[in-house]
Chains A and B, each alone.
Chain A
Amino acid sequence: MDFTLFLFYAFAAVLLGASVGVIASRNSVHSALFLVLAFFNAAAIWMLLRAEFLAIALILVYVGAVMVLFLFVVMMLDINVERIRQGFWSYLPLGLIVAAILFIEMALVVGGKWAGLDAMPMPAEPAAGYSNTKALAWLMFTDFAYPFELASFVLLVAMIAAVALTLRARAGNKAIDPAAQIAVKASDRLRIVSLPAEKSN
């Protein structure tokens, strides 16, 4: 077995183990951390497929930002996992049966020969100096510029929607407006009163 293949199986095994951990662990923080592990291994597998940009972007975006915020929320919520899990085991057999039936049906429909994978040849070895990142960037900013910009609009809408649905100006908010704070002049705070000197008797 060559080394790459060994690596693939190692990463894949950890990936699957971590994925099981995500749904099986009793503590939601552990689940989130298992998910992080799963992302890491998925990134490693992408790396083996020579998709290094995607692999690093997966870590940067999902592990470095999305999951951090996820963890942030999960930690703050006091989730009673036991209560959520009530009935998990009693529903499990039914769920497994449904999943198995679905899987078999799909396998039958898509059919033998592993869905015609043999019709897809292995991609050619890239030339030396070939940069995955550059190739992706080229496509992204030329042929796919239109959907790329559209995707940014989708994100903008998500942002506006999040703000519109959640931002509330709370009464009694004590936050200070820094601009107003800086613009303060002495005359706003200080009043110079000239008092006539009193005569002491």
Chain B
Amino acid sequence: MDFVMPDFRLAAPELFVAAMSLVILMVTSFAKSRARSAAFWLCEFTLLAAVFLTLFSGTVDRAQTFSGMYISDLLGGFLKAVVCLSVAVVLQYGRAYMADRKIDSPEYYILVLFAALGMMVLISASHFVSIYLGLELMSLALYALVAIDRDNPRSTEAGMKYFVLGALASGLLLYGMSMLYGATGSLQIHEISQRIYERSANDMVVVFGLVFVLVGIAFKLGVVPFHMWVPDVYHGAPTAVTLLVSSAPKIAAFAMAFRILVLGLFDLAEQWQMMLMLLAVGSIVLGNLAAVAQTNIKRMLAYSGISHMGFMLLGLMSGVVKGEGGTYAVNAYSSAMFYAVAYVMMTLAAFGMVILLSRAGFEAENVDDFKGLNQRSPWFAGMMLIVMFSMAGIPFFVGFFAKLSVLQAVVAAGNVSGQALYYWLAGLAVLMSAVGAYYYLRVVKVMYFDDAVDTSPLTATLGTRTLLSANALSIAAVGLLPNWLMQICAFTLLH
């Protein structure tokens, strides 16, 4: 029994957030009247400090600690920084919204912080046990947050649906993990990859486990055919929570997918590539077509989110050709990662706009609520224009480059393999993006060419306005200079 004391410094961000969450729990239970603002500011402080910690405390080289449960690398550091930053933004956007509806209990802030902790754990997990626990920590907090508007039947129903389906997905994931454990005798991702590589023979049990693990991942990403919860949850949850559910967890799910599939089960790439392709095609087609029919903007964004996740998977799957990785693989993975980060930027701004239009006693939920926004606030109409154009993939916004890099990766895979299938895939993706442009542009149309039904002024605080503007402008800015973000993605992946 030899045991090496873990290196706690490597896990500093997680430990810090965990400790702070307990501190905040104590502070809020004793600070009676100021509990809400104390919780808010302490959470913001914790998240921003965690961003700082992940960026400056991490090592450049890959290092493991906690007996191989935790991996510290640039990829994890960067993604965790993005997660913490986006959760911090979520809290700021949602604060007034939650307060107006009297559901901004201190528990709301604490649960959000716990969800962030779960995502961080998930991102740097390199062992099935820590992956699963990170996932559960994140999901459990999110289930509760979705239902936190407990007097609203839609919110509780959404929470219930999310919980039941999420628990089912967790069960499938665990089942798959246990199969992989049975076949390889290890839960550690690198060891699993090693064992599968050594075995050379393609064991059926491993593939069997892979299927279930993949279903679990697909559920968390919300891709077809495991997308049923997405529209209902996005629609039913308070918009501030929808903002959270739709943004940071996608990054965490990407990291989980990358670590399990690419790092752990690379030798089964031929199998999972095919499955990912089916998931991606289904999501892109169904997401875009169903979004066209929506009048509720939250549901529309939910379906658009499904199609975006499909795009991301398209990038992830084109990293391997005939079970072999190559130099183009880095481009493919980094395109998927770039897509995930870009999507989070866009979805934050999009739901941020939905929140901006809502006020006490009024939910801006329908596309029609955006009518005549240009007359009410030309500035924010412009911001929404940027977001919608970017989501639609119109050139020189970040969404365009995200789509472009994914398509490039698909075509590159097609060039290497010489299979026409990849070109068809790219063609289909372009076609569906064109369909998708319709419903994004419809929002722009009602903003600029319809008369305002509701002419009351926007009520958001200066902080939210500034942050939302900065968010939308950053979409434009990164769209003009996409290279540095691309390079960060490629650089962190290479290490």
Contact = CB atoms under 8 A, between A and B. Distances in A.
Interface of A: 106, 109-111, 115-116, 138, 142-147, 149-151, 153-154, 156-158, 160-161, 163-166
A163 B183 CA distance: 41
Contact of A147 (B107, B130, B203): B130
Contact of A116 (B1, B18, B150, B205): B205
A164 B146 CA distance: 12
Interface of B: 1, 3, 6, 11, 18, 25, 66-67, 69-70, 105, 107-108, 110-111, 114, 117, 121, 127, 129-130, 133-134, 136-137, 140-141, 143-144, 147-148, 150, 159, 182-183, 203-205, 207-208
B107 A115 contact: no
6 contacts: A110-B204, A115-B182, A116-B205, A143-B67, A164-B111, A164-B144
A150 B134 contact: yes
Contact of A164 (B11, B107, B130): B107
Contact of B133 (A150, A164, A165): A150
A154 B136 contact: yes
A157 B204 contact: no
Nearest to A141: B3
B111 A161 contact: yes
Nearest to B110: A160
A154 B140 contact: yes
A106 B207 CA distance: 12
Contacts of A146: 6, 11, 66-67, 69-70, 130
Given A158-B140, A165-B147, A144 B67 contact: yes
A164 B105 contact: yes
A161 B105 CA distance: 12
A106 B114 CA distance: 37
A197 B208 CA distance: 98
Nearest to A150: B133
A153 B18 contact: yes
Contacts of B66: 145-146
A31 to B, nearest CB: 20
Contacts of B3: 142-143
Given A146-B67, A157-B144, 14 more contacts: A115-B182, A146-B6, A146-B11, A146-B69, A146-B130, A147-B133, A150-B121, A153-B18, A153-B117, A157-B137, A164-B105, A164-B111, A165-B144, A166-B150
Nearest to B203: A116
Contacts of B183: 116
Contacts of A150: 121, 130, 133-134, 137
A145 B108 CA distance: 28
Nearest to A145: B66
Nearest to A162: B144
B111 A157 contact: yes
A161 B143 contact: yes
Contacts of B150: 165-166
Contacts of A163: 107
Contacts of B130: 146-147, 150
Contacts of B6: 145-146
Contacts of B114: 153, 156-157, 160
Nearest to B106: A164
